[in-house]
Amino acid sequence: MINPRKTRVAVVVSHLTIGGAEQLLLELLRHIDRQRFDLNIFFLREPGILGKEILQLGFPVSTGIIRSKFDLSGIFKLTRLLKDFQTDVVFLINHLNTLFFGVIASKLADVRTCINWENETFKKYPFHPLTMLGRRILHLGVDYVVAAAKGHGDYIAVEEKIRHSKIRVIYNGVDPERFQSTIGQEEARGRLRIPAQSPVVSIVAALRPDKAHHIFLRAARMVADVIPEAHFLVIGDGPQMPFLKSLAVDLNLENQVHFLGFQRQLGDIFAAVDINCLSSYPQQETLSVAVIEAMSAGIPIICTDVGFMNEIVIPNETGFLVPVDDPESLAKKIILVLKNPEQQQYMSHQARKLVDETLSVHQMARAFEELYCELA
């Protein structure tokens, strides 16, 4: 019996900094079935922080395909690389330049299938109408667009003028094992210099304006007025760090808010946490990977009703949704859950269950594998 050759997938990416979409790609590559698929990674620019972790996975990698944003010679470099790889599927990670260079090169290389994986919502580009027109034209050369949620698929159909028949929904997934801990809650809090009996509320997000950490901190002040022993973790780094630290002092929370910076190993930190929050504005939020990571550790979620979070944050089941820019509503839900340990325990179980059944990297990887095989 002759074994069919593996499906050859060319992953075209710009560069990988710290972010949810970038982490999703890293997890997908870690869990793809290498017995069935040959993958080659093509970085248009340099790998970036998370890209360096991909280099350690052992896939063939090409970097520096373009020298600048408008380096049109990169089209021909990428075309040659795709031909040399005898590519079956071009898999684009949704940056503007991957869409431009990847679609044109895949057509010139006569690649059978082109897929674009989108993880953005409500993003406003410079020269937005012209940019969206360009995206719509380029998507004519894409066979399938992968959306992160059902509502996201509907959004793409309307905003990008893409037929529903070209859209596939594959939910974002995380590896639950990465967020488990072998230490107990008391030890986890001790490592953070938090009293063992103090409730802990966290937020995991880059410190950018669209994540609205100031709403979280104002809600924290209201929670602390009712539950004085509460502590709050701000996990992430970014340009707003000085402003947020100053705000915590102004709110008289400097002894209860802990700025932990960027953390790759979250399991032992999550072991200390009772509730995880997301206070984002609508810009760019789709289906938060950080929220799914916390859910995988059995942590209830209280977040703003943005993007398509309503598909995974189910009121009274996995958490609560609150209005945007409303610290009082956020605080009320935090207090409600902290004062009802039975409800908190039930939500904890439901959050972990939803990840195991729908939002794990294993489901995500198998769904992509099925799509590659179907198209190739």
Phi, psi of 116 (to 5 degrees): -115, 125
Could you give the strand order of the β-sheet that contains 167-169, starting from the edge strand earlier in sequence? 61-62, 37-43, 7-13, 89-93, 113-117, 144-147, 167-169
Token pair of 186, please?
A: 């008391």
Residues 237-259: pLDDT tens digits? 999 999 999 999 999 999 999 99
Q: Any residues with CB less than 8 A from the CB of 51 and at least 6 apart, and which?
A: 13, 15, 16, 43
Q: What is the pLDDT of residue 127?
A: 80
Token pair of 39, please?
A: 């993958």
Q: What is the pLDDT of residue 2?
A: 39
Helices (H), the chain: 20-31, 48-55, 73-84, 96-108, 128-138, 150-159, 185-191, 213-226, 241-250, 267-270, 289-296, 327-338, 341-358, 361-375
Q: Give dist(CA 138, CA 361) in Å, integer.
A: 29
Whole-number average pLDDT of the chain: 93
What secondary structure does DSSP assign to 232-254, as a single string? EEEE--STTHHHHHHHHHHTT-T
Identify the sign of the CA torsion 279, 303, 95, 19. Answer: positive
**The whole model's pTM is what?**
0.91
Identify the sign of the CA torsion 283, 335, 239, 66. Answer: negative
Q: Give dist(CA 7, CA 360) in Å, integer.
A: 24
Q: Any residues with CB less than 8 A from the CB of 281 and at least 6 apart, and which?
A: 209, 210, 211, 212, 304, 306, 324, 325
What average pLDDT does the segment 161-180 reach?
94
Q: What is the pLDDT of residue 15?
A: 85
Sequence length of the chain is 376
Token pair of 355, please?
A: 């990840």
What average pLDDT does the segment 8-29 reach?
87
Contact predicate 65/86, CB 8 Å: no
Q: Which residue has the higher pLDDT, 72 or 124?
A: 72
Residues 79-127: pLDDT tens digits? 999 999 999 999 999 788 999 999 999 999 999 999 999 987 777 777 8
Q: Give dist(CA 212, CA 281) in Å, integer.
A: 6
All structural domains of the chain, each given as residue ranges with its CATH number in brackets, are: 7-173+360-375 (3.40.50.2000), 176-358 (3.40.50.2000)
What average pLDDT does the segment 64-85 reach?
94
What secondary structure does DSSP assign to 163-214, as a single string? -GGGEEE----B-GGGG--SS-HHHHHHHTT--TTS-EEEEES-S-GGG-HH
Q: Give dist(CA 276, CA 270) in Å, integer.
A: 9
What average pLDDT does the segment 27-32 reach?
94
Q: Give dist(CA 296, CA 351) in Å, integer.
A: 7
In the chain, the percentage of residues whose pLDDT exceeds 90 is 82
Could you give the strand order of the β-sheet that contains 301-304, starting from the edge strand earlier in sequence? 257-261, 231-235, 200-204, 275-278, 301-304, 319-322
Q: What is the pLDDT of residue 73?
A: 95
Q: What is the pLDDT of residue 56?
A: 92
Contact predicate 152/286, CB 8 Å: yes
